[in-house]
Amino acid sequence: MNEHLPTLSSAPVAARDTRTSTAAHQDFTGLMRSEWLKVASLTSMRWLALAAVGAGALGAVAFASSAEASTTTAVLGSATLSALVIGLLTALGTTSEYATGSIRTTLAVAPRRGLALLAKAAVSALLGVVLSVLGSVAGLAATSAMHPDGWIEAGTVVRAVVAAAIYVAVVAVFCLLLGTVLRGVALTTASVIALVLLLPGMTGGVRVGDVFLSDYLLSEAGPGLVLQTSFGTDAWVQVATVSVWMALASAAAAARLGYSDA
Amino acid sequence: MIEATRLSKRHGAKTVVDGVSFSVRPGTVTGFLGPNGAGKSTTMRMIVGLDRPTSGTVTVNGRRYVDSPAPMAEVGVLLDAGAVHPGRRARDHLRVVASTNGIGDRRVDEVLSLAGLESVARKKVGTFSLGMKQRLGIATALLGDPGTVVLDEPVNGLDPEGVIWVRQLCRQLAAEGRAVLLSSHLMGEMAQTADRLVVLGRGRVIADTPTAELLARAGGGGAVRVRTDRPEDLSALVAPLGATLVPVSADTVEVAGLTAEQIAQAAGPAGVLLYELAPVQVSLEAAFFHLTGDSVEYRADAITDTDSSKATR
């Protein structure tokens, strides 16, 4: 036989090494690990994660420079920009799976699609929280240089940073769901930018009755929560608004993923 | 063990798979043959739940693949070697897939070496040739040490060495007691690899037989090729015994209706020397076209003179 041919030994070539391997099975932890590896193993995703932290820091510094600035508005600035970049990250993550066809590989090895989507959402939310906190903290650290008299008040800052982290996590999951529904890279990217950045400004002056339309946007109600100092009616309206947006997106994504052929 | 029962798939008005039933047994390589558009890939996609059957069922070891607690140990599947993210390194791609089923990095390295990809493990998949992507796809399919292996066109784009590797691998997987379902357009390759053939045409099963039987059935009734320097004398000897002779060349005839032994026994006493006496082997291509002749989905019509004259007018 030709020497160059890969020869098969008499040992079962395809079998796992049973001395070292544990029985394979599918669980949520494994699916989350896979989704995390997907993000961590792509250069583009690593850059976007870095950019999210950078944008968060930059947003804080930009909002802190105005006259009536407070740590809360600085964190709001951080949340707005890092939400945009993280939204792009999760949207690109999922739409690139459709663009490259690798979604078929994903769904072939993780055939319970609801669970697969939940794992994606969990990793997106975790990324949102971690990157948002990193961006806010970096931004606040930078702004303390602008306010040498020490403007950081621990209680306020922690509350704002936590609210911002939750908002960014929500946007991360929302954009993932949007990408799952729309599937196209360009369409989804444009939608994310419009939703997070443009729509609040465009609808800012539109009134329906005695309420502003923009109050019921995800990207207005969410950041609004960052500014709340007490949990009153306004805060509940904002929580309800965010919940409705998320519920709609989840239902649409679950239906799109669950009922269509991959 | 795969069992498909009256499996159908319709896309709108178009029926892609039409009431297909077949089984893929452990320890055998089953070949999936059929022209483009016959429904092979769609059937394979329904096995692993990527496509939802319009009607009918397909189970793996008695249950739906989707319900398996360890999908990758149940079925290892390669459907489309291109279904990978080009920006990911080969080893990372395997780790992403492996971790969905709790499979560790040690097994990832095992399949990399099994597929001969160690030297390119840290290269991005986007730089891979189709053949290397096929190897990566096969490595992915084997990650879970699956009892059933489904490979759609695995030798597409492989070099001759790779083709032989896939053949040996499939034989070995079957020898280890696994059920292997394999589709290929290389019918010569299929004849050497598959124990059993399921032939699809226009979404229906048009043959489901052992490979040898399919070849024999299309083999012109077991004709025997005979080479002799006296074909007329041979004809005079065997024709009365019920044989029909078809001359192939000046010194060769194909004799149908008699066995090789009967021909030799007739020719010997008369002193007619036979230089060759061989059963006529029909290629799988011929058997295939014999079966699928009227179930070809996409056919390029021969361009006739009338067409070209119309075009110039």
- Considering only CB atoms, which chain B residues are within 8 Å of A26? 69-72, 100-102
Question: Is pLDDT larger for residue A32 or for residue A1?
Answer: A32
The mean pLDDT value of chain A amounts to 87
> Is the domain of B243 the same as that of B174?
no
Q: Do B161 and A6 touch (CB under 8 A)?
A: yes
Domain ranges for chain A, please list them.
28-256
> Is the domain of B90 the same as that of B116?
yes
Q: Do A109 and B71 touch (CB under 8 A)?
A: yes
Q: Comparing A31-35, A36-40, B162-166, B279-283, which segment has the lowest mean pLDDT?
A: B279-283
Of B66, B85, B107, the CB nearest to A42: B85
* pLDDT computed for residue B297 by the predictor: 58
Locate B139 and state its tokens.
């490595």
Locate A155 and state its tokens.
């209680």
The values of phi and psi at residue A139, to 5°, are: -65, -45
Give the number of other CB atoms < 10 A from CB of residue B101: 26
CA nearest A106 in B: which residue? B97
Interface test with A, best of B16, B64, B100 (most A CBs within 10 A): B100
> Is the domain of B169 the same as that of B257?
no
Question: Is pLDDT larger for residue B46 or for residue A9?
Answer: B46
pLDDT band of A19, cuts 50, 70, 90: very low
Of B68, B97, B114, the CB nearest to A105: B97
Residues in chain A: 262
Structural domain range at position B159 = 2-217
Q: Is residue B304 part of a domain?
A: no
Nearest CA among B257, B245, B253 for reference residue B229 = B253
Locate A55 and state its tokens.
């944008």
CA distance B142 to chain A (A): 6
Size of interface A-B (CB pairs under 8 A): 145
> Is the domain of B95 the same as that of B190?
yes
CA nearest B105 in A: which residue? A21
Distance of alpha carbon A120 from alpha carbon A122, whole angstroms: 6
Q: Is residue B302 part of a domain?
A: no
Mean pLDDT of A88-117: 96
Block residue for tokens 């140990």: B73
* H/E stretch holding A26: none
CA distance B53 to chain A (A): 10
Q: Is residue B181 part of a domain?
A: yes
Nearest CA among A102, A83, A86 for reference residue A38 = A102
Residue B56 burial (10 A CB sphere; 0-12, 13-18, 19+) = middle
Q: Do A15 and B145 touch (CB under 8 A)?
A: yes
pLDDT band of A224, cuts 50, 70, 90: confident
- Considering only CB atoms, which chain B residues are within 8 Å of A31? 100
Residue A134 burial (10 A CB sphere; 0-12, 13-18, 19+) = buried
Mean pLDDT of A23-46: 94
Q: Do B99 and A97 touch (CB under 8 A)?
A: no
CA nearest A7 in B: which residue? B165
Q: Check pLDDT > 60 for residue A30.
A: yes
Q: Classify B19 as helix, strand or coil.
A: strand
CA distance B208 to chain A (A): 27
CATH number at residue B151: 3.40.50.300
- The strand pairing partners of A207, in sequence order, are A212
> Is the domain of B48 the same as that of B26?
yes
Q: Is residue B161 part of a domain?
A: yes
Q: Is residue B43 part of a domain?
A: yes
Distance of alpha carbon B296 from alpha carbon B199, whole angstroms: 12
Q: Do A37 and B101 touch (CB under 8 A)?
A: no
> Is the domain of B205 the same as that of B187?
yes
> Is the domain of B171 the same as that of B122?
yes
- Considering only CB atoms, which chain B residues are within 8 Å of A22? 102, 104
Question: Is pLDDT larger for residue A9 or for residue B233?
Answer: B233
CA nearest B165 in A: which residue? A6
Mean pLDDT of A148-157: 78
> Is the domain of B188 the same as that of B228?
no
- Structural domain tally of chain B? 2
> Is the domain of B243 the same as that of B106?
no
* pLDDT computed for residue B124 by the predictor: 97
> Is the domain of B60 the same as that of B190?
yes
- Considering only CB atoms, which chain B residues are within 8 Å of A13? 114, 169, 172
CA distance A38 to chain B (A): 6
Q: Is residue B16 part of a domain?
A: yes
Contact B204, B19 (CB under 8 A): yes
Q: Do B73 and A5 touch (CB under 8 A)?
A: no
Interface test with A, best of B96, B107, B117, B136 (most A CBs within 10 A): B96
Q: Do B87 and A43 touch (CB under 8 A)?
A: yes
CA A204 to chain centre: 24
Q: Check pLDDT > 80 for residue A177.
A: yes
Q: Is residue B250 part of a domain?
A: yes
* pLDDT computed for residue B298 by the predictor: 62
Angle, in degrees to the nearest 10, between helices A43-64 and A28-40 = 80
Q: Is residue B245 part of a domain?
A: yes
Locate B66 and state its tokens.
């989707």
> Is the domain of B114 the same as that of B194?
yes
Q: Do B145 and A24 touch (CB under 8 A)?
A: yes
* pLDDT computed for residue B265 by the predictor: 83
Q: Comparing A2-16, A43-57, A61-75, A231-245, which segment has the lowest mean pLDDT?
A: A2-16
Block residue for tokens 């920009």: A81
Distance of alpha carbon B102 from alpha carbon B71, whole angstroms: 11
pLDDT per residue rounded down to tens, chain B (313 residues): 999 999 999 998 999 999 999 999 999 999 998 888 889 999 999 999 999 999 999 999 999 999 999 999 999 999 999 999 999 999 999 999 999 999 999 999 999 999 999 999 999 999 999 999 999 999 999 999 999 999 999 998 899 899 999 999 999 999 999 999 999 877 778 888 999 999 998 899 999 999 888 777 665 556 788 888 888 887 888 788 777 777 778 888 888 777 778 888 888 888 878 888 877 776 777 777 777 766 665 666 555 444 444 444 4
Distance of alpha carbon B41 from alpha carbon B151, whole angstroms: 10
pTM, to two decimals? 0.84
* pLDDT computed for residue A144 by the predictor: 81
- Considering only CB atoms, which chain A residues are within 8 Å of B52? 259, 261
- Considering only CB atoms, which chain A residues are within 8 Å of B50? 104, 107-108, 261-262
> Is the domain of B232 the same as that of B112?
no
